[in-house]
Structure 1
Amino acid sequence: MPKEMKKVILQGIRKTLLADGSTTKVELSYKLGISFPTVSKLVAQMEKKGELMSVGLDDSSGGRRARRYAYNPDYQLIAILFLEQTETQYMIYNVSGEVKERGSCSGFLQDGIEALTDQIESLIDRHPGIRSLAFGVPGSVNNGRIIYIPGYEKFHYFDLKSAIEARFGLPVVVENDMNAAVLGYYKKMEFRNDESLIYLYFGQNGPGAGILVNGNVVRGSTSFSGEVSFVPLYDNRSFQEAIINAEGTVTVMREGIGADAVSRLVAAFTAILNPNAVIFVRDEVNTELLKSIELRSASYIAKEHLPKLIVSDWKEDYLNGLKRLGLDLMIRTNDD
């Protein structure tokens, strides 16, 4: 069997088992459109490795009872790490979402790559089943390379994916924090595939946005999409300059100019993308501010075209997005 074909079939088997909970070889053959002998061979290989496990026999319908299989949730563990200003938070979980360990350690952005690799090595020593790593970064990422991260210029163009894969020989995915958050919110809410969303975060190191159009995260031609700090909303001020004062404090909650800047940005997103909703971070807004933004936005663009303005838990959505990315990476790898 060609290697690429085998890879596609294995991915299909994993997706089906994780979505359905359990299945038989006949059901797999039917759902995947793959011959029964091919499915049987691959299921036998996966069971021998411990990736699948038998969970009993189906009731007889007059013939031989079919054996039912489920994915072994502890066959592979996934480590996700959020690289933040002063610390790196991490979580180890299995494919069923069961958390095996969570905690924090010294920050990669302050202490450098060696501190991060030492921590990963410690995690793998405690959990040898870790087979993939997912990183969230507060900056723009292009194919695993950090290309822009405000306040940490020494990491501009640092290829985090290649560095970690070379060190540990494990598959790695690296994603911008806002892209992960909008993906996590989308998966949590189980939207239709044609949903379009903007996830807006003011932040202390500069604002950012996660953009999802028709169910797909938009990264742009150079993976720079969502860097809304640069959007020129006034003659002499960008969006960041309008919402952050000279001391670096976000002023949206206290000063009229900040709320107006957000309203202009909402109007711009409406005219360009016409999203279903703009999601705000729960800790950064209140009901009064959202109402003000809604009214101001309607002065720039017709109200019927404006998106819903909603709030959500950014940390939870960020975590959900990284978990989804880690799971997708797991499904695609370990196909030998």
Structure 2
Amino acid sequence: MNKLSGNPKIMKEVNSGLIKQVLKEKTTATRAEIVKYTGISTTTVRTLIEELIIDKEIVSVGYDDSSGGRRAERYALNLRNRFSLSFYMDDRNINYATYNQLGDIVEKKSIKAEGKSIYEFIEDMFKVYKIKAIGIGVSGVVNKGNFFSGRNLNNWSKSNVGEYLSEKYNIPVILENDLNAIALGFSMNYIKEMKEVDINSLNLAYINFTKIGVGAGIIANGKLVRGENNFAGELGFIPIGTEGHLIKVLNNNPDDKSYVKIIAQVIATVNCIINPAFIVVGGDSLRRNLIEDIKEECKTYVPNNINPKIIMSEDSSDDYLDGIAYLTNEAMNSGIKLIKNEIK
């Protein structure tokens, strides 16, 4: 266990997180077991357990059988007291999921927006759940609770939705670029199917083609790549010869032959920069009927020994929501994520 130092408030949050981590991994535990697994003193564990019970973050689930002495009380996370809310909006729908502290899905739905603002939607969700963290997927560049979006380099609008919600509800609010969330969610779901792939060494790019932009979520050695100004992956602004930026060239509706060449060059460019094992392509404007031609054309630009596996995404909606939910649950359990060693 790493020794941490700092002000009392930080140490209290870290120690509380360690206790909740034990209860998350072990389901239930006694005080003695918590002391053993965390290395926190008996006195501190007793004090923090009392506070966590008062705050309704943990509950008593009864006593162990007596072995001759005083029976030990056993504790568990209060799964009815802490929920995360993750969502994103498309043209017509609000797609959302709520999770408990263990990361289990409580509810997952897509509902008609019908003119409802995200603020009204969130208020409605607070009436049903005790929400302790919110995650929102956005199309744009995220920066410290704000995000910026636009179709050209000189006319971007700013939204402070993250800052506003965090201040209003006094809880963590995570904004994440849509492609970063999709790349993360795809990686998690793909690894469940391909057990030989290790998330910690994963190198992947998820390229999404839409009428309003071309973007990529990038994972290098198991970590999301955001860049200095969170601009990494904004492929729509790649210059293509003298014709302008990539999104402009694609919106000019090139013929199939030209389209195949352009997309193959984009894939080759991404491959040269980050050398991913997988490049996933998707989006509502991708010409899916040309995917095999694109793969063949890529061989023109990429040496055989470093050719990534190209995968076509059929539907990114679940990946999108799963990626946001993962980041939101991390924020809800912020004390837990400070742990570097798994509890044995």
| TM-score, with length taken from structure 2 | 0.80
1:103-136 CA distances to partner (integer Å, 9 max, x unpaired)? Answer: 43538xxx7xx93322322222x32512221111
- Pair 26,308 (structure 1): closer, same or farther in 2 beyond 3 Å: farther
1:6-40 CA distances to partner (integer Å, 9 max, x unpaired)? Answer: 11122233334334433444443344332333233
User: What is aligned with 2:206?
Assistant: 199
1:173-212 CA distances to partner (integer Å, 9 max, x unpaired)? Answer: 1111111111222333263312111111102321111111
- Aligned partner of residue 73 in structure 1, secondary structure: coil
Is structure 2 residue 221 aligned with structure 1 residue 214? Answer: yes
User: What is aligned with 2:339?
Assistant: none
- Pair 238,101 (structure 1): closer, same or farther in 2 beyond 3 Å: closer
User: What is aligned with 1:118?
Assistant: 120
- Pair 289,56 (structure 1): closer, same or farther in 2 beyond 3 Å: farther
List gaps (5 residues or longer) in structure 1. none
User: What is aligned with 2:259?
Assistant: 258
Relative to structure 2, which stretch is displaced further, 206-215 or 72-81? 72-81
**In structure 1, C-alpha distance between the alignment counterparts of 2:63 and 2:268, rounded to whole Å:** 58
RMSD: 3.2
- Aligned partner of residue 239 in structure 2, secondary structure: coil
User: What is aligned with 1:11?
Assistant: 17
Aligned 1:83-162 pairs, distance under 5 A: 83-95=89-101, 96-100=103-107, 102-106=109-113, 115-124=117-126, 126-150=127-151, 156-162=157-163
- Pair 317,145 (structure 1): closer, same or farther in 2 beyond 3 Å: same
Q: Is the 8 A contact 1:83 1:138 kept in 2?
A: no
Aligned 1:158-173 pairs, distance under 5 A: 158-173=159-174
Query: How many pairs were matched up?
Result: 321
Is structure 2 residue 45 aligned with structure 1 residue 39? Answer: yes
- Aligned partner of residue 275 in structure 1, secondary structure: coil
Relative to structure 2, which stretch is displaced further, 176-185 or 303-312? 303-312
**In structure 1, C-alpha distance between the alignment counterparts of 2:213 and 2:171, rounded to whole Å:** 32
1:88-115 CA distances to partner (integer Å, 9 max, x unpaired)? Answer: 33333333423346343538xxx7xx93
Q: Give aligned-pair identity as a percent.
A: 29
**In structure 1, C-alpha distance between the alignment counterparts of 2:66 and 2:201, rounded to whole Å:** 42
- Aligned partner of residue 157 in structure 1, secondary structure: strand
Return the offset for 1:162.
1.4
The one of 326, 329, 332 aligned to 1:330: 332
User: What is aligned with 1:225?
Assistant: 232
User: What is aligned with 1:245?
Assistant: 252
Return the offset for 1:222.
0.7
- Aligned partner of residue 299 in structure 1, secondary structure: helix
**In structure 2, C-alpha distance between the alignment counterparts of 1:58 and 1:297, rounded to whole Å:** 63
Higher relative contact order (CA 8 A, sep 6+): 2
